Amino acid sequence: MDFRDLKYFAVIAEEGHVGRAAERLYKTQPALTKCIDRLEEQLGAPLFERVGRGIRLTAVGEALLNRARQISLMMDETAREIGDYAHGREGNIRLGCVPTLAEHVLPGVCQQLLGEAQKVTIDLKVSMNDALLAGLKAGELDIVLGPMIQDDELFHTEEIMQDQMVVMASPHHPIFDKKIRLRHLLDYQWVLPAQSVLSRQWLDNVFDRHHLPRPKVQITPTVLNMILPLIERSNLLGFASKLNLSEGRGHLREVVLKETTMLRRMGLTYRRDMYLSPAAQRLIRILHEASLQHWDADKS
C-alpha cells in the first residue's frame, strides 16, 4: 500500500469531493480516482459511497482513515527523530502551558534549558488545559504543563508541583473591613473566566453546596492574564493562583476562606506513543529538578 495513496485518500475524505481534493493537492481528478481504485482493489472493499453531488466514507473507509492518520503521525515523528540525530542539533520542543505556569514557572525552566543548549527551539502555546490536551492528542504538541489528568493508555502524566486557587481582591477592598463569611462574597461583583474553565466550575460548586447563589460575574475575560489587573484596579473579586501572591504582587490580597481554597496538582503530560526529542527529555528532567526544589522550599 503506497503511502502517497493514503495521504491523497485522507484529503479526499476530508473534502468529501474528488474535485476539491484535486484542487487542494494540485492533482488531476483522474489521478485521484486511480488512487482510490488501487486502494479499493488492495482492500477488496469500497471506501466511498455517493451522496448527492459528493461522497462519504463507508465503514471500511472510516477504518482506513483512522489508520492513515496514525501512519502519517508516525511518519512525521520518525522524520523529526532522524532529523535530530542526522543534523546534530539539540531538537525542537512543541510545548503547551497553562497561563499560571507560563508566567511563574516556565521562565526559570527555559532559562536553565537555554543556558545548557543555546540552539534548542521552542514552539510555545499558552492556553487552557482542555485545548492543550486536544493539541497533544492530535500530535501537535510534545508536552503539556497544566493541571494533572488521569493516566490512561494515551497520556502519561507526572506531578511537578501543587498550587492553590484562592479568592483575591485589591488590598483596600471593603470586604476586609469585617470578618469574612462565604455569603459576604456575594455582596460584590466578580471577574471570572468562562464557565467551561475548571476553576470557575469548582468555585460555582462551592456556592451550590452551601445552598447560596453563584457569584455575580461582571467581567468574563477570554485572556486570563487580564483578571489580575482588573482586580487590582477595582472592587471586583477574582479567583486566581496563590503563586501571584508569592511572586510579590503588592496590589493583591487573599480573601482567606477555607471553603474557597482550591488545591490543584500541576503536572507535565505527554503521549506514551510519541517521540520526545533529546531537548524535550532534558526539559522534563529540569522540571523534575524544579519540582524537588519546590517541595524542599515548602518543607522549610
pLDDT tens track for 112-155: 888 887 778 899 999 888 889 999 998 899 999 999 888 788 89
pLDDT at 228: 87
Which grid cell sits at 128? 487552557
Share of the chain above pLDDT 90, in %: 38
Distance (Å) of CA 234 to CA 172, 188, 191, 229, 239: 10, 11, 10, 9, 14
pLDDT of residue 213: 97
Query: Alpha helix locations (H) across 87-128?
Result: 99-104, 106-116
Pairwise CA distance, residues 43 & 28, whole Å:
23
> What average pLDDT is seen over the chain?
86
Pairing outcome for strands 143-147 and 253-255: unpaired
Task: Give 3-state DSSP helix, strand, coil % of the chain, rounded to 5.
Answer: 50, 20, 30
Q: What is the pLDDT of residue 96?
A: 96
**Phi, psi (rounded to 5 degrees) for 171:** -60, -25
Amino acid identity of residue 73, one-letter, is L
Question: Residue 239 has which C-alpha cell?
Answer: 479567583
Q: Which segments within 192-252 are labelled E, that is strand?
A: 216-219, 237-241
| Residue range 244-253: mean pLDDT, rounded | 73
CA distance 74 to 83: 14
Question: What value, to the nearest 5°, has the Cα angle with vertex 213 and ends 208 and 214?
Answer: 75
Question: Residue 208 and residue 221: Cα distance in Å, rounded?
Answer: 23
89 pLDDT band (50/70/90 cuts)? Answer: very low
Among the ranges given (47-56, 86-95, 169-178), the one the predictor scored with the smallest mean pLDDT: 86-95
Contact 136, 269 (CB under 8 A): yes
Q: Which of 40-54, 80-94, 144-158, 269-283 has the lowest mean pLDDT?
A: 80-94
Sort strands 253-255 and 155-169 into parallel, antiparallel or unpaired.
antiparallel
Q: Could you tell me whether strands 237-241 and 189-191 are parallel, antiparallel, or unpaired per DSSP bridges? A: parallel
- Stated as kind and residue range, the H or E segment containing 290 is helix 278-299
- At 124, is the secondary structure helix, strand, or coil? strand
Enter the pTM of the model. Answer: 0.65
What would the grid cell of residue 105 be? 514557572
**What is the Cα–Cα distance from 197 to 204, expressed in whole angstroms?**
11
